[in-house]
Every structure is written in C-alpha cells, then in structure tokens.
Amino acid sequence: MIYNQVYKMHLFCLTEKYGNFAEAASHAGITRSALSQNLTSLEDYFKQSLLIREKGSVSVTPNGKIILKKIRDALALVGELDYLSQPEMSLTSKLRIGAYESIAVSFFPSLFKNFNTIYPDVKFDIITSRSDSLSKLVNNGSLDLALVINGVGTSKTEVVDLATDYLGVFAAADKFANINELSQAPDIGLATLSTPSDGVPLYYKKFISQFPEERSKHLTSDSFESIRSLAASGVMLGVLPSRVAYRVPNELKELWPKNAEIAKKSEHKLSLVFRRNTDSKIIDLITRTAQRTL
C-alpha cells in the first residue's frame, strides 16, 4: 500500500538531492545497501525505473522527475501535519526575511499562509534585494534569513540548498508560436540582467559568454521580473532562470540553448541562508514551503 512507501519516498528525495548513494545514506542514518534496497522496492511499487545508476553518482529518470514533484508535495503536507503535533511555540517576535524579487513573487504568499496557520502572531519584515546584498544583511544580523542564489555559509550563518535552476533565452509563446530557434528571430532585441558595481553573477556571465550572436537591440535591467514582463509582451527576448520563465504555464517558450552543455554552465542553486541561532522549526517550515513552492 502507498502508506508503506512514504519513508522510501523520503529516501528517494534525499538521493536526488545529494546525487549519490553514499551521502544520501549518511544523511538518512542507514547503510548504502539499505538505501539501495528501499529505492529498488519503491521502483517496484511504481513499476518503473526512477533512478539512473552510474559509477559514483545517481540521477533521476524523466518519469522519475514527474513522480518526484508529486512526492515532494505529498511529503510537504506530511511535514505540516507533523508541526501541528508539536507543542505550540511562543513565537511572537518579528521575523526579518529577505528574497530577490522573482522568488518573493512566488514564495511569500505560500509562506505567509503556512505561518498564519502555525504561528498566527508572527510579524514579518520583508526585504527584497540582490543575493549578495541579502547574504550580507543576514551575516551582519540585519536579517534573520534570506532566499538567495548560490548561498555561502559563514561563521555566523548556515545554508540549505533548496533547488537547482538554469538560464535560457525565452520568448512569448503566443507571438512566437512558429519560431523554435533563436536564429529564426534575428531582428528581436534581447533583455539581460544589468551589471551592478560588484558585477553579474558568475553563472550568468558564463551563460552570456556562450551567446551565439550580438543583438542590435539590447536592453538591460536589474530585475528578472522586468525582463520577464518584456519577454511575455513579445517586445524582447529575455534571458531568464527557467523557474521564473515558467511560473505562468505556457506563457513563455525557450528558444536557446538547445545544447545541454551550455545550459549546464548556467546551473545555480536556490538557497536559504540563515543566522545560526534561528529556531530549527522555523527553518524546517520555510524549507518545506520553499521546496514545495519553488
């Protein structure tokens, strides 16, 4: 029965997160052999392969990714029930939290809903900014935690990686319905992230350096949301993280890259960086909400 598979689903999520059996087994507190047996049993239950096993690493099959998304949603609900079984916390102080704009748009509504259910008296102070600025604010104590790109822990902070994302060049799906390659839209301008004083992120720079051609019309913005709006309107093509681009289903389509190696260069992590003295239950709740939402 499905109820007997919940723990195995948890192990499946751990294995996808860490990318190898040894580390996933270590975090689960079981042997590698026990982990492998549980995952094989889960594959038998679903009657299909969920994992591609390679020497030293493991990855999720295409069908496994579909199942994994549903598993994460289900485990997030189980986690919320677990919170309701815990003694009520007297959290009445202000929680200072930051995120860059595109994450804030999709994440904060779900976060507020969950917090209002479990901690109805909590007060929020929300800051939106770029990842480097937010990380510095957490480190100096101005924020309790923040959702950032490629977070790095310090002596005062810790980091949990929540998801992986990639960049692409996106166009309005309705206005460019018959265009499937970048070369088919030679006269359309390109909107990219502007360069701040401390430079664009390395993953973004690597991606842009692979771009096949210069565009005569080129617009820059410090906001992915502005770039997304331009792309969705059909005015420009936009360089965007896939999770931002696909937030509204079927609104944007990816024109480039078609090469997985180029896409890999733009890989980046969505991370939660937080003060070391932050209550672990709050971190767990925010992590579950982010993994379910993002």
Question: Residue 5: its pLDDT value, please?
Answer: 85
**249 part of a folded domain:** yes
Token representation of residue 28: 């689960």
Counting Cα atoms < 13 Å in the Cβ hemisphere of 183 gives 2
**160 part of a folded domain:** no
Domain identity same for 182 and 196:
yes
Domain identity same for 260 and 276:
no
pLDDT tens digits, 140-180: 989 999 999 999 888 888 999 988 899 999 999 999 999 99
β-strand pairing of 145-149 with 157-165 = unpaired
> Domain limits at 187?
167-266
Counting Cα atoms < 13 Å in the Cβ hemisphere of 30 gives 18
**73 part of a folded domain:** yes
For residues 143 and 277, the answer to whether their CB atoms sit within 8 Å is no
3-state secondary structure 209-222: HCCCCCCCCEEEEC
Domain identity same for 144 and 286:
yes
Mean of pLDDT over the chain: 86
DSSP 137: H
**222 part of a folded domain:** yes
Question: Residue 192: its pLDDT value, please?
Answer: 93
Domain with residue 245: its CATH number is 3.40.190.10
Closest among 230, 224, 106, 220 to 172, alpha carbons compared = 230
Strand positions, DSSP E, 129-187: 145-149, 157-165, 167-172
Q: Please tell me the total count of domains within the chain.
A: 3
Which ranges of the chain have pLDDT less than 50? 83, 86-90
**217 part of a folded domain:** yes
Domain identity same for 198 and 52:
no
Question: Residue 88: its pLDDT value, please?
Answer: 42
Which residue stretches of 52-97 are H helix? 62-84
Domain identity same for 143 and 279:
yes
Domain identity same for 258 and 209:
yes
Domain identity same for 223 and 206:
yes
Domain identity same for 14 and 72:
yes
Is the dihedral angle over the CA atoms 59, 62, 63, 69 positive or is it negative?
Answer: positive
Domain with residue 62: its CATH number is 1.10.10.10
Element (H, E) at 22: helix 21-28
Which residue stretches of 31-148 are H helix? 32-46, 62-84, 101-118, 131-139
Domain identity same for 101 and 37:
no
